[in-house]
Amino acid sequence: MPLFSTRPIDAKKIRFRVTSNILSGNHRSKPLSHTHPLSMKNCPACQSVTLESTNLEAHLSASQCSSCDGHWVAADDYHAWLENGPQAAAATAAVAVEDSTHAVFCPHCSQLMRKTNVGHDLNFYLDQCPCCHGVWFDQHEWDNLKSKDLHTQVHQMSSAAWQQKARQYSLRSTVRQVYASKFSSTDYSEAERIKNWLERHPQKQDLLSFFAAPA
């Protein structure tokens, strides 16, 4: 049963979703002492460093590694924060991320975490536990999600629809890099302007035929 829904966030429904998908699942059958305190768990990246309780945002509990500045967020804490109606983040410049490329194991249940493609021109993957659905954020990953106001959509990122879109973003980004290196910056800007105009034009196919026809 998938935890994460692809539907838009509806605060009124979140409690139901949390209750039906998380708390009534395997998690309910485990003793609470198994899930708390997370502060006793070790950093999945540094391994030997113990995570410490903190708040990633107001009302968003997390566990932080003082060495690599990564953050662990449990699924139920994330949904509780969403239920509080977090504010939209102001757009800011992205910060370079040193993404963990090695295997990362869940600090909560020791499962191998899945790499989740974020997309949206953010060149990193989130580590998400397939079992308890907690998420590990390497340093700056949360801030980068906030820079694009994606931090309230983490629960949707493992869905097939999100991953398909993320692959399209990656492909588009690669294609752009290839052509940006072929053209001068002036020509590339002009080509991109024409391409964007063409993409939205109702006579796109006729225009493409016209461009391809002999001058």
Residues engaged in binding Zn ion (CB under 5 A): 43, 45-46, 49, 65, 67-68, 106, 108-109, 111, 129, 131-132
Helices (H), 11-149: 11-17, 26-29, 32-35, 75-83, 141-147
Q: Report, in Å, the least distance between residue 25 CB and Zn ion.
A: 12
**CA of 211: how far to CAs of 42, 62, 183, 187, 214, in Å?**
60, 55, 18, 17, 8
- The first and second tokens of residue 64, run together, are 């932080």
Q: State in angstroms the smallest separation of the CB of 79 from Zn ion.
A: 15
Return the number of the residue (17 or 108) whose C-beta is nearest Zn ion.
108
- Residue 124 CB, shortest distance to Zn ion, in Å, is 16
Q: Please say which residue, 132 or 166, places its beta carbon nearer to Zn ion.
A: 132
The DSSP code for 130 is T
> Which CB sits closer to Zn ion, 7 or 34?
34
Nearest to Zn ion of 42, 170 (CB atom)? 42
Q: Compute CA distances 11 → 8, 17, 76, 82, 84, whole Å.
A: 10, 10, 14, 7, 8
| Least separation in angstroms between CB 137 and Zn ion | 11
- DSSP character for 145? H
First to last CA, the chain: 58
Q: Which is nearer to Zn ion, 18 or 106 (CB)?
A: 106
The least CB distance from residue 13 to Zn ion, in Å, is 24
